[in-house]
Protein backbone atom coordinates (compact mmCIF):
# COMPACT_ATOMS: atom_id res chain seq x y z
CA UNK A 1 0.00 0.00 0.00
CA UNK A 2 1.17 3.49 -0.79
CA UNK A 3 1.71 5.51 2.36
CA UNK A 4 1.60 8.72 0.37
CA UNK A 5 -2.12 8.20 -0.01
CA UNK A 6 -4.16 10.28 2.39
CA UNK A 7 -7.28 9.38 4.35
CA UNK A 8 -9.18 12.24 5.96
CA UNK A 9 -11.08 11.18 9.09
CA UNK A 10 -13.85 13.54 10.19
CA UNK A 11 -15.58 12.85 13.52
CA UNK A 12 -16.26 15.04 16.53
CA UNK A 13 -15.60 12.16 18.95
CA UNK A 14 -11.88 11.65 19.50
CA UNK A 15 -12.27 7.93 20.28
CA UNK A 16 -13.75 7.27 16.84
CA UNK A 17 -10.99 9.23 15.12
CA UNK A 18 -8.26 7.41 17.03
CA UNK A 19 -9.74 3.98 16.30
CA UNK A 20 -10.12 4.70 12.57
CA UNK A 21 -6.65 6.16 12.51
CA UNK A 22 -5.30 3.02 14.22
CA UNK A 23 -6.95 0.84 11.58
CA UNK A 24 -5.50 2.76 8.62
CA UNK A 25 -2.29 4.40 9.81
CA UNK A 26 -0.10 1.52 8.71
CA UNK A 27 -1.09 1.95 5.09
CA UNK A 28 -2.09 5.58 4.74
CA UNK A 29 -1.15 9.04 5.83
CA UNK A 30 -3.95 10.16 8.17
CA UNK A 31 -5.41 13.64 8.54
CA UNK A 32 -8.05 14.28 11.20
CA UNK A 33 -10.78 16.91 11.44
CA UNK A 34 -13.30 17.23 14.26
CA UNK A 35 -16.05 19.13 12.44
CA UNK A 36 -17.33 19.94 8.96
CA UNK A 37 -15.56 23.28 8.64
CA UNK A 38 -12.17 21.75 9.45
CA UNK A 39 -12.96 18.95 7.00
CA UNK A 40 -13.54 21.35 4.10
CA UNK A 41 -10.36 23.26 4.99
CA UNK A 42 -8.42 19.99 4.91
CA UNK A 43 -9.94 19.07 1.53
CA UNK A 44 -8.93 22.43 0.08
CA UNK A 45 -5.41 22.13 1.48
CA UNK A 46 -4.94 18.53 0.30
CA UNK A 47 -6.57 18.04 -3.09
CA UNK A 48 -4.99 14.58 -3.37
CA UNK A 49 -7.02 12.99 -0.56
CA UNK A 50 -7.71 9.35 -1.46
CA UNK A 51 -10.78 8.92 0.75
CA UNK A 52 -12.78 10.76 3.37
CA UNK A 53 -14.48 9.05 6.31
CA UNK A 54 -17.19 11.46 7.35
CA UNK A 55 -19.32 11.39 10.50
CA UNK A 56 -22.88 12.51 9.93
CA UNK A 57 -23.82 14.03 13.26
CA UNK A 58 -21.33 16.76 14.21
CA UNK A 59 -21.38 20.25 15.66
CA UNK A 60 -20.44 23.35 13.59
CA UNK A 61 -21.23 21.74 10.24
CA UNK A 62 -22.73 18.27 9.92
CA UNK A 63 -21.73 15.58 7.46
CA UNK A 64 -24.57 16.19 5.02
CA UNK A 65 -23.65 19.86 4.72
CA UNK A 66 -20.02 18.89 4.02
CA UNK A 67 -21.22 16.50 1.32
CA UNK A 68 -23.47 19.17 -0.19
CA UNK A 69 -20.57 21.62 -0.43
CA UNK A 70 -18.21 19.02 -1.87
CA UNK A 71 -20.85 18.00 -4.38
CA UNK A 72 -21.28 21.62 -5.47
CA UNK A 73 -17.56 22.24 -5.84
CA UNK A 74 -17.09 19.04 -7.86
CA UNK A 75 -14.70 17.53 -5.26
CA UNK A 76 -16.83 14.36 -4.96
CA UNK A 77 -15.81 13.37 -8.46
CA UNK A 78 -12.28 12.60 -7.33
CA UNK A 79 -12.64 11.96 -3.57
CA UNK A 80 -14.77 9.01 -2.39
CA UNK A 81 -16.65 9.89 0.79
CA UNK A 82 -17.78 7.22 3.29
CA UNK A 83 -20.43 8.18 5.81
CA UNK A 84 -19.77 7.06 9.38
CA UNK A 85 -22.77 6.52 11.55
CA UNK A 86 -23.81 4.75 14.72
CA UNK A 87 -27.26 4.60 13.09
CA UNK A 88 -29.08 7.44 11.58
CA UNK A 89 -32.46 7.91 10.11
CA UNK A 90 -33.06 6.22 6.80
CA UNK A 91 -33.80 9.59 5.14
CA UNK A 92 -30.47 10.97 6.30
CA UNK A 93 -28.54 8.05 4.86
CA UNK A 94 -30.51 8.19 1.62
CA UNK A 95 -29.82 11.88 1.32
CA UNK A 96 -26.15 11.10 1.88
CA UNK A 97 -26.18 8.64 -1.01
CA UNK A 98 -28.07 11.11 -3.20
CA UNK A 99 -25.47 13.75 -2.45
CA UNK A 100 -22.75 11.42 -3.67
CA UNK A 101 -21.46 9.39 -0.70
CA UNK A 102 -20.04 6.08 -1.93
CA UNK A 103 -20.84 3.93 1.10
CA UNK A 104 -21.93 3.89 4.74
CA UNK A 105 -19.75 2.67 7.61
CA UNK A 106 -21.57 1.73 10.78
CA UNK A 107 -20.25 1.99 14.31
CA UNK A 108 -18.96 -0.05 16.02
CA UNK A 109 -16.35 -0.44 13.30
CA UNK A 110 -15.61 -3.92 11.97
CA UNK A 111 -11.96 -3.58 11.24
CA UNK A 112 -11.42 -6.15 8.50
CA UNK A 113 -14.54 -5.39 6.49
CA UNK A 114 -13.82 -1.69 6.80
CA UNK A 115 -10.29 -2.10 5.50
CA UNK A 116 -11.39 -4.14 2.50
CA UNK A 117 -14.24 -1.83 1.56
CA UNK A 118 -12.20 1.32 1.79
CA UNK A 119 -9.13 -0.13 0.09
CA UNK A 120 -11.27 -1.42 -2.78
CA UNK A 121 -12.93 1.92 -3.40
CA UNK A 122 -9.64 3.83 -3.13
CA UNK A 123 -8.12 1.50 -5.69
CA UNK A 124 -11.12 1.94 -7.98
CA UNK A 125 -11.01 5.73 -7.72
CA UNK A 126 -7.30 5.90 -8.21
CA UNK A 127 -7.64 3.71 -11.32
CA UNK A 128 -10.46 5.91 -12.62
CA UNK A 129 -8.57 9.15 -11.90
CA UNK A 130 -5.55 7.73 -13.68
CA UNK A 131 -7.65 6.76 -16.70
CA UNK A 132 -9.25 10.20 -16.82
CA UNK A 133 -5.80 11.76 -16.76
CA UNK A 134 -4.59 9.52 -19.59
CA UNK A 135 -7.70 10.23 -21.68
CA UNK A 136 -7.40 13.99 -21.12
CA UNK A 137 -3.74 13.81 -22.15
CA UNK A 138 -4.61 11.90 -25.32
CA UNK A 139 -7.45 14.28 -26.23
CA UNK A 140 -5.01 17.18 -25.81
CA UNK A 141 -2.49 15.41 -28.03
CA UNK A 142 -5.18 14.69 -30.66
CA UNK A 143 -6.21 18.34 -30.67
CA UNK A 144 -2.60 19.34 -31.14
CA UNK A 145 -2.29 16.95 -34.07
CA UNK A 146 -5.50 18.33 -35.63
CA UNK A 147 -4.23 21.86 -35.20
CA UNK A 148 -0.89 21.10 -36.77
CA UNK A 149 -2.60 19.40 -39.72
CA UNK A 150 -4.67 22.53 -40.21
CA UNK A 151 -1.60 24.72 -39.95
CA UNK A 152 0.25 22.51 -42.42
CA UNK A 153 -2.58 22.90 -44.92
CA UNK A 154 -2.55 26.65 -44.43
CA UNK A 155 1.20 26.83 -44.95
CA UNK A 156 0.77 24.98 -48.25
CA UNK A 157 -1.59 27.71 -49.45
CA UNK A 158 0.85 30.39 -48.38
CA UNK A 159 3.52 28.86 -50.57
CA UNK A 160 1.15 28.69 -53.48
CA UNK A 161 -0.22 32.21 -53.13
CA UNK A 162 3.06 34.09 -53.00
CA UNK A 163 1.36 37.32 -51.95
CA UNK A 164 -0.24 35.94 -48.84
CA UNK A 165 2.90 35.69 -46.77
CA UNK A 166 1.92 36.09 -43.18
CA UNK A 167 -1.69 36.63 -44.14
CA UNK A 168 -3.12 33.55 -42.41
CA UNK A 169 -1.32 34.29 -39.16
CA UNK A 170 -2.69 37.81 -39.12
CA UNK A 171 -6.19 36.51 -39.91
CA UNK A 172 -5.89 34.27 -36.88
CA UNK A 173 -4.86 37.17 -34.66
CA UNK A 174 -7.59 39.46 -36.01
CA UNK A 175 -10.24 36.73 -35.70
CA UNK A 176 -9.22 36.15 -32.10
CA UNK A 177 -9.46 39.84 -31.17
CA UNK A 178 -12.73 40.44 -33.01
CA UNK A 179 -14.48 37.21 -32.03
CA UNK A 180 -13.61 37.82 -28.36
CA UNK A 181 -14.91 41.39 -28.57
CA UNK A 182 -18.15 40.42 -30.35
CA UNK A 183 -18.73 37.69 -27.78
CA UNK A 184 -18.16 40.17 -24.94
CA UNK A 185 -20.36 42.90 -26.39
CA UNK A 186 -23.37 40.94 -27.64
CA UNK A 187 -25.07 38.21 -25.58
CA UNK A 188 -26.70 36.81 -28.72
CA UNK A 189 -23.25 36.12 -30.16
CA UNK A 190 -21.64 34.96 -26.88
CA UNK A 191 -19.48 31.86 -27.19
CA UNK A 192 -17.34 29.96 -24.67
CA UNK A 193 -13.58 30.40 -24.95
CA UNK A 194 -13.17 26.80 -26.15
CA UNK A 195 -15.37 27.58 -29.20
CA UNK A 196 -13.57 30.86 -29.90
CA UNK A 197 -10.30 28.90 -29.89
CA UNK A 198 -11.72 26.48 -32.48
CA UNK A 199 -12.93 29.37 -34.65
CA UNK A 200 -9.50 30.98 -34.52
CA UNK A 201 -7.84 27.70 -35.57
CA UNK A 202 -10.43 27.21 -38.33
CA UNK A 203 -9.93 30.74 -39.69
CA UNK A 204 -6.49 29.62 -40.90
CA UNK A 205 -8.19 27.56 -43.60
CA UNK A 206 -10.47 30.27 -44.99
CA UNK A 207 -8.53 30.46 -48.27
CA UNK A 208 -7.64 26.78 -48.64
CA UNK A 209 -9.59 26.73 -51.92
CA UNK A 210 -7.07 29.11 -53.52
CA UNK A 211 -4.85 26.09 -54.03
CA UNK A 212 -7.16 25.14 -56.93
CA UNK A 213 -7.06 28.56 -58.63
CA UNK A 214 -4.69 28.75 -61.64
CA UNK A 215 -1.46 30.70 -61.03
CA UNK A 216 -2.27 33.13 -63.86
CA UNK A 217 -5.31 34.32 -61.96
CA UNK A 218 -4.14 33.88 -58.37
CA UNK A 219 -0.93 35.82 -58.86
CA UNK A 220 -2.01 38.18 -61.67
CA UNK A 221 -0.40 41.58 -61.08
CA UNK A 222 -3.26 43.59 -62.55
CA UNK A 223 -7.01 43.78 -62.17
CA UNK A 224 -8.94 40.55 -62.84
CA UNK A 225 -11.35 40.39 -65.80
CA UNK A 226 -14.97 39.51 -65.08
CA UNK A 227 -14.35 35.88 -66.16
CA UNK A 228 -11.19 35.63 -64.11
CA UNK A 229 -13.00 37.02 -61.08
CA UNK A 230 -15.69 34.35 -61.51
CA UNK A 231 -12.93 31.70 -61.36
CA UNK A 232 -11.37 33.41 -58.34
CA UNK A 233 -14.73 33.38 -56.55
CA UNK A 234 -14.72 29.60 -56.86
CA UNK A 235 -12.03 29.36 -54.17
CA UNK A 236 -14.79 29.40 -51.51
CA UNK A 237 -16.60 26.39 -52.95
CA UNK A 238 -13.41 24.60 -53.93
CA UNK A 239 -12.14 25.03 -50.39
CA UNK A 240 -15.18 23.20 -49.07
CA UNK A 241 -14.63 20.40 -51.57
CA UNK A 242 -11.08 19.99 -50.31
CA UNK A 243 -12.26 19.94 -46.69
CA UNK A 244 -14.93 17.36 -47.54
CA UNK A 245 -12.15 15.03 -48.62
CA UNK A 246 -10.41 15.26 -45.25
CA UNK A 247 -13.17 15.53 -42.63
CA UNK A 248 -11.45 13.19 -40.19
CA UNK A 249 -8.23 15.12 -40.09
CA UNK A 250 -9.58 17.79 -37.81
CA UNK A 251 -12.47 16.40 -35.78
CA UNK A 252 -16.10 17.46 -35.99
CA UNK A 253 -15.94 20.87 -34.28
CA UNK A 254 -13.00 22.22 -36.28
CA UNK A 255 -14.36 20.73 -39.49
CA UNK A 256 -17.76 22.42 -39.15
CA UNK A 257 -16.26 25.83 -38.43
CA UNK A 258 -13.63 25.49 -41.18
CA UNK A 259 -16.22 24.44 -43.74
CA UNK A 260 -18.54 27.31 -42.90
CA UNK A 261 -15.77 29.93 -42.81
CA UNK A 262 -14.29 28.63 -46.03
CA UNK A 263 -17.60 28.86 -47.87
CA UNK A 264 -18.96 32.06 -46.41
CA UNK A 265 -16.10 34.44 -45.69
CA UNK A 266 -16.98 36.43 -48.83
CA UNK A 267 -20.69 36.74 -48.05
CA UNK A 268 -21.89 40.24 -47.21
CA UNK A 269 -24.51 41.56 -44.77
CA UNK A 270 -26.70 42.96 -47.59
CA UNK A 271 -26.69 39.70 -49.54
CA UNK A 272 -24.35 40.92 -52.26
CA UNK A 273 -21.50 38.58 -51.42
CA UNK A 274 -20.71 35.11 -52.75
CA UNK A 275 -21.06 32.18 -53.29
CA UNK A 276 -24.56 31.78 -51.77
CA UNK A 277 -25.73 35.41 -51.46
CA UNK A 278 -26.66 34.89 -47.80
CA UNK A 279 -28.21 37.91 -46.05
CA UNK A 280 -27.69 39.25 -42.48
CA UNK A 281 -27.52 36.65 -39.77
CA UNK A 282 -27.98 33.86 -42.30
CA UNK A 283 -24.20 34.19 -42.32
CA UNK A 284 -22.72 32.65 -39.15
CA UNK A 285 -21.09 35.11 -36.78
CA UNK A 286 -17.70 33.41 -37.21
CA UNK A 287 -17.83 33.71 -41.00
CA UNK A 288 -18.79 37.38 -40.59
CA UNK A 289 -15.85 37.97 -38.26
CA UNK A 290 -13.38 36.28 -40.59
CA UNK A 291 -14.81 38.37 -43.51
CA UNK A 292 -13.97 41.66 -41.88
CA UNK A 293 -10.60 40.36 -40.68
CA UNK A 294 -9.84 39.23 -44.23
CA UNK A 295 -10.84 42.58 -45.73
CA UNK A 296 -8.83 44.62 -43.22
CA UNK A 297 -5.79 42.45 -43.81
CA UNK A 298 -6.13 42.58 -47.61
CA UNK A 299 -6.34 46.40 -47.45
CA UNK A 300 -3.36 46.90 -45.15
CA UNK A 301 -1.09 44.43 -46.98
CA UNK A 302 0.67 44.98 -50.25
CA UNK A 303 -0.56 42.76 -53.08
CA UNK A 304 0.66 42.19 -56.63
CA UNK A 305 -2.20 44.34 -57.85
CA UNK A 306 -2.06 47.14 -55.21
CA UNK A 307 -0.02 49.03 -52.63
CA UNK A 308 -0.77 48.67 -48.90
CA UNK A 309 -3.18 51.17 -47.35
CA UNK A 310 -2.35 52.51 -43.91
CA UNK A 311 -4.49 51.52 -40.92
CA UNK A 312 -6.62 54.71 -40.86
CA UNK A 313 -7.39 54.59 -44.58
CA UNK A 314 -8.26 50.89 -44.39
CA UNK A 315 -10.64 51.51 -41.48
CA UNK A 316 -12.32 54.42 -43.34
CA UNK A 317 -12.76 52.28 -46.45
CA UNK A 318 -14.42 49.53 -44.40
CA UNK A 319 -16.75 52.03 -42.72
CA UNK A 320 -17.64 53.68 -46.04
CA UNK A 321 -18.71 50.31 -47.41
CA UNK A 322 -16.02 50.24 -50.09
CA UNK A 323 -15.47 46.54 -49.40
CA UNK A 324 -19.14 45.61 -49.08
CA UNK A 325 -21.52 45.90 -46.17
CA UNK A 326 -20.98 44.38 -42.73
CA UNK A 327 -23.14 43.68 -39.71
CA UNK A 328 -23.38 47.02 -37.79
CA UNK A 329 -22.74 45.14 -34.52
CA UNK A 330 -19.51 43.70 -35.88
CA UNK A 331 -18.49 47.14 -37.12
CA UNK A 332 -18.97 48.43 -33.56
CA UNK A 333 -16.90 45.56 -32.16
CA UNK A 334 -14.29 46.30 -34.83
CA UNK A 335 -14.24 49.95 -33.77
CA UNK A 336 -13.86 48.92 -30.13
CA UNK A 337 -10.92 46.70 -31.11
CA UNK A 338 -9.07 49.21 -33.30
CA UNK A 339 -6.53 50.14 -30.61
CA UNK A 340 -5.64 46.51 -29.98
CA UNK A 341 -5.45 45.81 -33.71
CA UNK A 342 -3.27 48.84 -34.39
CA UNK A 343 -0.95 48.00 -31.50
CA UNK A 344 -0.25 44.64 -33.14
CA UNK A 345 1.06 46.68 -36.08
CA UNK A 346 0.17 43.98 -38.57
CA UNK A 347 -0.08 46.54 -41.36
CA UNK A 348 3.72 46.95 -41.20
CA UNK A 349 4.61 43.30 -41.14
CA UNK A 350 5.11 43.01 -44.85
CA UNK B 1 -4.09 -6.13 33.64
CA UNK B 2 -6.41 -5.58 36.60
CA UNK B 3 -8.45 -2.87 34.86
CA UNK B 4 -9.26 -5.04 31.88
CA UNK B 5 -10.24 -7.97 34.07
CA UNK B 6 -12.48 -5.75 36.18
CA UNK B 7 -14.08 -4.32 33.04
CA UNK B 8 -14.75 -7.83 31.75
CA UNK B 9 -16.60 -8.51 35.00
CA UNK B 10 -18.67 -5.38 34.35
CA UNK B 11 -19.72 -6.75 30.96
CA UNK B 12 -17.24 -4.91 28.72
CA UNK B 13 -16.17 -6.96 25.67
CA UNK B 14 -12.49 -6.24 26.21
CA UNK B 15 -11.34 -8.69 23.54
CA UNK B 16 -13.61 -7.14 20.91
CA UNK B 17 -12.35 -3.65 21.79
CA UNK B 18 -8.72 -4.73 21.67
CA UNK B 19 -9.26 -6.48 18.38
CA UNK B 20 -10.44 -3.22 16.84
CA UNK B 21 -7.13 -1.65 17.91
CA UNK B 22 -4.96 -4.43 16.55
CA UNK B 23 -4.47 -5.73 20.13
CA UNK B 24 -2.85 -2.50 21.30
CA UNK B 25 -3.59 -2.66 25.04
CA UNK B 26 -1.91 0.64 25.90
CA UNK B 27 -3.98 2.48 23.31
CA UNK B 28 -7.14 0.75 24.53
CA UNK B 29 -6.48 1.91 28.09
CA UNK B 30 -5.70 5.42 26.85
CA UNK B 31 -8.98 5.49 24.95
CA UNK B 32 -10.86 4.32 28.03
CA UNK B 33 -9.54 7.50 29.68
CA UNK B 34 -10.75 9.49 26.71
CA UNK B 35 -14.12 7.76 27.03
CA UNK B 36 -14.42 8.95 30.64
CA UNK B 37 -13.84 12.55 29.50
CA UNK B 38 -16.29 12.12 26.62
CA UNK B 39 -18.94 10.86 29.03
CA UNK B 40 -18.41 13.97 31.14
CA UNK B 41 -18.93 16.37 28.25
CA UNK B 42 -21.77 14.38 26.68
CA UNK B 43 -23.50 13.43 29.92
CA UNK B 44 -27.18 12.61 29.60
CA UNK B 45 -29.28 13.35 32.69
CA UNK B 46 -32.89 12.66 33.50
CA UNK B 47 -34.01 16.22 34.06
CA UNK B 48 -34.62 17.25 30.45
CA UNK B 49 -37.96 18.61 29.32
CA UNK B 50 -39.57 16.00 27.08
CA UNK B 51 -41.99 18.53 25.60
CA UNK B 52 -39.20 20.78 24.35
CA UNK B 53 -38.26 19.35 20.94
CA UNK B 54 -34.93 21.20 20.85
CA UNK B 55 -33.93 19.80 24.21
CA UNK B 56 -34.95 16.29 23.14
CA UNK B 57 -32.91 16.69 19.93
CA UNK B 58 -29.88 17.77 21.97
CA UNK B 59 -30.20 14.79 24.36
CA UNK B 60 -30.63 12.45 21.37
CA UNK B 61 -27.47 13.82 19.81
CA UNK B 62 -25.49 13.25 23.02
CA UNK B 63 -26.92 9.73 23.46
CA UNK B 64 -26.02 9.06 19.83
CA UNK B 65 -22.43 10.17 20.42
CA UNK B 66 -22.12 7.99 23.55
CA UNK B 67 -23.54 5.04 21.67
CA UNK B 68 -20.93 5.40 18.89
CA UNK B 69 -17.97 5.78 21.24
CA UNK B 70 -19.09 2.99 23.61
CA UNK B 71 -19.72 0.72 20.65
CA UNK B 72 -16.27 1.29 19.24
CA UNK B 73 -14.64 0.45 22.59
CA UNK B 74 -17.02 -2.52 23.02
CA UNK B 75 -18.35 -1.16 26.32
CA UNK B 76 -21.34 -3.35 25.63
CA UNK B 77 -23.70 -2.47 28.52
CA UNK B 78 -23.47 1.25 27.72
CA UNK B 79 -23.62 0.67 23.96
CA UNK B 80 -26.72 -1.48 24.18
CA UNK B 81 -28.53 0.80 26.59
CA UNK B 82 -27.87 3.92 24.53
CA UNK B 83 -28.86 2.13 21.32
CA UNK B 84 -32.25 1.60 22.92
CA UNK B 85 -32.36 5.14 24.35
CA UNK B 86 -31.65 6.70 20.96
CA UNK B 87 -34.32 4.56 19.31
CA UNK B 88 -36.90 5.54 21.93
CA UNK B 89 -36.03 9.24 21.77
CA UNK B 90 -36.22 9.23 17.95
CA UNK B 91 -39.63 7.53 18.18
CA UNK B 92 -40.79 10.22 20.64
CA UNK B 93 -41.18 7.72 23.52
CA UNK B 94 -39.80 10.08 26.14
CA UNK B 95 -40.91 8.31 29.33
CA UNK B 96 -39.61 4.84 28.34
CA UNK B 97 -36.36 6.56 27.27
CA UNK B 98 -36.06 8.19 30.69
CA UNK B 99 -36.63 4.78 32.35
CA UNK B 100 -33.74 3.34 30.32
CA UNK B 101 -31.51 6.28 31.23
CA UNK B 102 -32.37 5.76 34.88
CA UNK B 103 -31.41 2.08 34.59
CA UNK B 104 -28.08 2.66 32.85
CA UNK B 105 -26.82 5.58 34.98
CA UNK B 106 -25.61 3.40 37.93
CA UNK B 107 -24.12 0.82 35.53
CA UNK B 108 -22.19 3.46 33.63
CA UNK B 109 -21.08 5.05 36.93
CA UNK B 110 -19.57 1.69 37.98
CA UNK B 111 -17.70 1.36 34.68
CA UNK B 112 -16.43 4.94 34.77
CA UNK B 113 -15.40 4.65 38.42
CA UNK B 114 -13.56 1.44 37.63
CA UNK B 115 -11.63 3.12 34.80
CA UNK B 116 -10.86 6.19 36.92
CA UNK B 117 -9.64 4.03 39.83
CA UNK B 118 -7.14 2.32 37.54
CA UNK B 119 -5.76 5.41 35.78
Q: Given B16, B27, B65, which is nearest A13 (Cβ)? A: B65
pLDDT for res A181: 96
C-alpha to C-alpha distances, A52 to A76, A82, A96, B23, nearest whole angstrom = 10, 6, 13, 25
Fold entry, domain A6-133: Rossmann fold (3.40.50)
pLDDT for res B75: 95
| Radius of gyration in angstroms for the set of CA atoms belonging to chain B, rounded to a whole number | 15
Size of interface A-B (CB pairs under 8 A): 63
How many angstroms separate the CA atoms of A239 and A144, rounded?
Answer: 22
What is the distance of C-alpha A245 from the center of its chain?
26
ipTM of the assembly?
0.85
Span B77-102, average pLDDT: 92
| Contacts with A146 (C-beta within 8 Å, 6 or more apart), sequence order | A249, A250, A251, A254
How many angstroms separate the CA atoms of A53 and A48, rounded?
Answer: 15
Q: Give chain B positions within 8 Å (CB) of A63.
A: none
% of chain A exceeding 90 in pLDDT = 55
Q: Give chain A positions within 8 Å (CB) of B67.
A: 86-87, 107
Task: Give me chain A's average pLDDT, please.
Answer: 88
Neighbours of A26 (CB within 10 A): 10
| Radius of gyration in angstroms for the set of CA atoms belonging to chain A, rounded to a whole number | 30
For chain B, the maximum distance between any two Cα atoms, rounded to a whole number of angstroms, is 46
pLDDT for res A349: 43
Q: Can you give the residue ranges of every domain in chain A?
A: 6-133, 161-348
More confident: A27 or A91? A27
Query: Is the predicted pLDDT of residue B1 greater than 90, yes or no?
Result: no
Question: Across the interface, do B72 and A107 touch by the CB < 8 Å criterion?
Answer: yes
Query: Is the predicted pLDDT of residue A6 greater than 90, yes or no?
Result: yes
pLDDT for res A161: 66
Span A42-67, average pLDDT: 90
Q: Do domains A6-133 and A161-348 have the same CATH topology?
A: no
| pLDDT tens string A8-21 | 999 999 999 999 99
| pLDDT tens string A204-228 | 889 989 888 998 898 888 889 999 9
More confident: B45 or A165? B45
pLDDT for res A347: 45
CATH of A161-348, one of 2.40.50.140, 1.10.3210.10, 3.40.830.10, 3.40.50.300: 1.10.3210.10
Question: Across the interface, do A111 and B19 touch by the CB < 8 Å criterion?
Answer: yes
Q: Could you give the angle at which helices B76-91 and B53-72 cross, rounded to 10 degrees?
A: 150
Q: Give chain B positions within 8 Å (CB) of A17.
A: none
Question: Across the interface, do A18 and B65 touch by the CB < 8 Å criterion?
Answer: no
Confidence of residue A169 (pLDDT cuts 50, 70, 90): confident
Among A335, A343, A346, A339, smallest CA distance to A309 is for A346
Q: Which residue of B has its CA nearest to A17?
A: B69
Question: Across the interface, do B20 and A23 touch by the CB < 8 Å criterion?
Answer: yes
Q: Give chain B positions within 8 Å (CB) of A87.
A: 64, 67, 83, 86
pLDDT for res A58: 85
Query: Is the predicted pLDDT of residue A88 greater than 70, yes or no?
Result: no
Question: Across the interface, do B21 and A19 touch by the CB < 8 Å criterion?
Answer: yes
| pLDDT tens string A288-345 | 999 999 999 989 988 777 788 998 999 999 999 999 999 999 999 999 999 998 877 6
pLDDT for res A346: 55
Span A147-170, average pLDDT: 72
How many angstroms separate the CA atoms of B62 and A82, rounded?
Answer: 22
| pLDDT tens string A242-277 | 999 887 767 778 899 999 999 999 999 999 999 999
| pLDDT tens string B22-52 | 888 999 999 999 999 988 888 887 788 778 8
Query: Is the predicted pLDDT of residue A287 greater than 80, yes or no?
Result: yes
| Contacts with A46 (C-beta within 8 Å, 6 or more apart), sequence order | A6, A8, A31
CATH number of B2-117: 1.20.120
Span A155-167, average pLDDT: 67
% of chain A exceeding 70 in pLDDT = 95
Q: How far is A84 from chain B (nearest CA, A)?
A: 10
More confident: A177 or A129? A177
Amino acid sequence: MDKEKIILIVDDIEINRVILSEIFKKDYHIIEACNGIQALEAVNKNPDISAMLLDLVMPEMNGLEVLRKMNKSGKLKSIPVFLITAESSEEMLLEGYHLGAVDVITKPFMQHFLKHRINNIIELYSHRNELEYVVAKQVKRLNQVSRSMVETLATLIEFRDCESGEHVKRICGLTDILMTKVSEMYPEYRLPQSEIDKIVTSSVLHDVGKISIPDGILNKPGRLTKEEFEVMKQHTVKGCEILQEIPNVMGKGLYDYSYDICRHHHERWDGRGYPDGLVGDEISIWAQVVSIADVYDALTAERVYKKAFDHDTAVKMIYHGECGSFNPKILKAFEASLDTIQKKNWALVE
Amino acid sequence: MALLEELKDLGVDVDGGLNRLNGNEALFVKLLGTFVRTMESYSVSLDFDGSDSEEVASVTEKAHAIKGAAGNLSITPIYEAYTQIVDLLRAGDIEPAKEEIEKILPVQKNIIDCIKANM
